[in-house]
Structure 1
Amino acid sequence: MCSIILKVATFIMLISVVVAGKKRLVLHSNDDLLQAYQTLLSQMKTMETKVSMMESKVSLMQNNQASDGGSTYVRWGKQTCPGNGTSTMYSGYAAGSYWSHTGSAANYLCLPGDPQWAYYEDSVGSGGRVYGGEYELGDNHGNGGSHYLGSNVRDEDAPCAVCQSPRSSVLMIPSRLNCYPGWTKEYSGYLMSGHYTHASATEFICVDSHVDVVPGGHPDQEGRLFYLVEGICGSLKCPPYVNGRELTCVVCSK
């Protein structure tokens, strides 16, 4: 593009020289013509540099737009991701710290089903520990929480899936089943956490309302546990909330 501009500009300059000669302007000799040509070349090089800088900026903007074109989230309790353009990055196992440990981390993890190892020592006790996750609904809810999660899942191991949405923002909204206008629903379910009396703190997560289970994960081995969450009136305003009622949740994208 720049070479074309240079040729056109050079041609225009030569025409100008001819016209200037007819009008008895300054360009009388070959030296004048050479100097004017060199000046024009210098100007064209400056213009080429500016064009190159502009092209670099446009390319950077395009790359930034491409990198901002999506987002990720964890779909707890499911092995796959929903439709609406969302794809499954990987599926695996819900995990975290043991429910009675007072240290380690509070967040839940979605461990992939195909781990990779670097250097390791199986006989060395490290400071942190990760355990698999279990649905813990049978103690307080009849039939293993089947009215909430679609089936009896008492002591079943919980799966998870990491999802990539084509939309750039993802938000989990507690106590809602539907998204607000302008947002796309990824999935909905029930707000869950560890038990409020347990030593190990957890985060609040949104577990799908029709959960899957990890095959062969029925034995009660505990680990990181999932309990339904209730609203308690007091500083929490009732209404609109109701004391002891299980809270829902929805994951939305935009």
Structure 2
Amino acid sequence: MRGTRHIAVVFLLFINVQDVFGSEEEGIHTQDRRLLLNDPQTLLTQIEALQRETQTMKTEMNTMRTQVTTQQTQIHSLENKRHEDGITGGKPHHEPGGGVNTLCLPHDPDNASHNFPTSLQSAAHVYGDEYEFTYGNIARDDDVPCAVCHLQSATSVLMIPAKTTCPSGWTMQYHGYLVTDNDDSGWHVTDFISLHGDPEYLTEGARQHNLNGHVLYPVAAVCGSLPCPPYKSGQYITCVVCSL
């Protein structure tokens, strides 16, 4: 019985010692936490972490804005229906008279009345267009296609030379390069047109025939009355078509 009583006492003392040590450790941990909260370095670390989280949120918001803008542009493009594909044409480069504007001619022309005109001395001519340069998918002397498009939600359409972006509030339809006839002596004026930045040729059967007619060349800047800078001598002029 005496031995059993000793074991019981030792056991009880062991448990009490554990309780005492446990209470001391909890007190130490509580004190450590108080010290950490009062530590300037800890507060600085927490502030820096919050700043990083804020910057991450700003980046994600900017990404979301960009995605929304892209989707709006895609929706707007889907609303814009291509009305007609055609053949680009105009007056031949070697004739001084005739029209100066570039035309988008249909693939299925209708004949004029059999009695038109009733009398005639001379007539102007319309030729198909040819590229006089190589770029991307097109080669020199390829025939030039065109398209006439309908913008359902636009009230104004504007071509801006020497720009590839639209003013604030406007929607870009496409951007590309300014083209027109050559400046060689004896060649005559035509209008400036905005060629799409990813141009196409008419058909495989209309490639590089070199029949001339209404021809298209890039347009380069010339310093003088055109200020340089901001322009550079010889730089090719870009363009953008915008709608509002």
The answer to whether TM tops 0.5 is: yes
Q: Which of 112, 135, 147 is the matching residue for 1:161?
A: 147
Quote the sequence identity (%). Answer: 39
Aligned residues: 162
Structure 1 unaligned residues grouped into runs of 5+ = 1-81, 138-143
What secondary structure, in the 3-state scheme, does the structure 1 residue paired with 2:206 have?
coil
Quote the offset at 1:127 in angstroms: 1.1
1:118 pairs with 97, 112, 117, which one? 112
Quote the residue 1:230 is aligned against: 220
Deviation (angstroms), 1:86: 1.1
> How far off is 1:209 after superposition?
1.0
| 1:132 is the counterpart of 2:128 | yes
Bigger Rg, which one: 2
Secondary structure of 2:148 counterpart: strand
The answer to whether structure 1 residue 246 and structure 2 residue 232 are counterparts is: no
Task: Using the TM superposition, give the Cα deviation of residue 212 of structure 1 relative to its aligned residue in structure 2, in angstroms.
Answer: 1.1
SS at match of 2:165: coil
What is the identity, as a one-letter code, of the residue corresponding to 1:96?
A: G
**Which residue identity is paired with 1:91?**
D
Deviation, structure 1 residue 120: 3.9
Aligned to 1:101: 95
- 2:178 maps to which residue? 191
Structure 1 position 133, deviation (Å): 0.3
CA distance in 2, matches of 1:161, 1:190: 16
CA contact (8 A) 1:97 1:200 kept: no
Q: Distance in 1 between matches of 2:131 and 2:221?
A: 20
- Say which structure is richer in helix: 2
Is contact 2:130–2:142 with CA below 8 Å preserved after alignment? yes
The Cα of 1:126 is off from its aligned counterpart by 4.5
Structure 2 unaligned residues grouped into runs of 5+: 1-75
Residues 100 and 191 of structure 2 are in contact (CA less than 8 Å); yes or no, is this contact kept in structure 1? yes
Separation in 2, partners of 1:158, 1:181: 32
Please state how far the C-alpha of 1:253 moved relative to its aligned partner. 0.2
1:151 aligns with 2:137: yes
Identify which of 69, 73, 79 aligns with 1:85: 79
Partner Cα distance (1:125, 1:189) in 2: 41
Matched residues in 2 for 1:223 and 1:163: separation? 25
Deviations 1:200-245 (A, max 9, x none): 2111110001111111112111110010000100000000000000
Question: Kindly tell me: are residues 232 and 168 of structure 1, through their superposed partners in 2, closer, same or farther at Cα, counting changes over 3 Å?
Answer: same
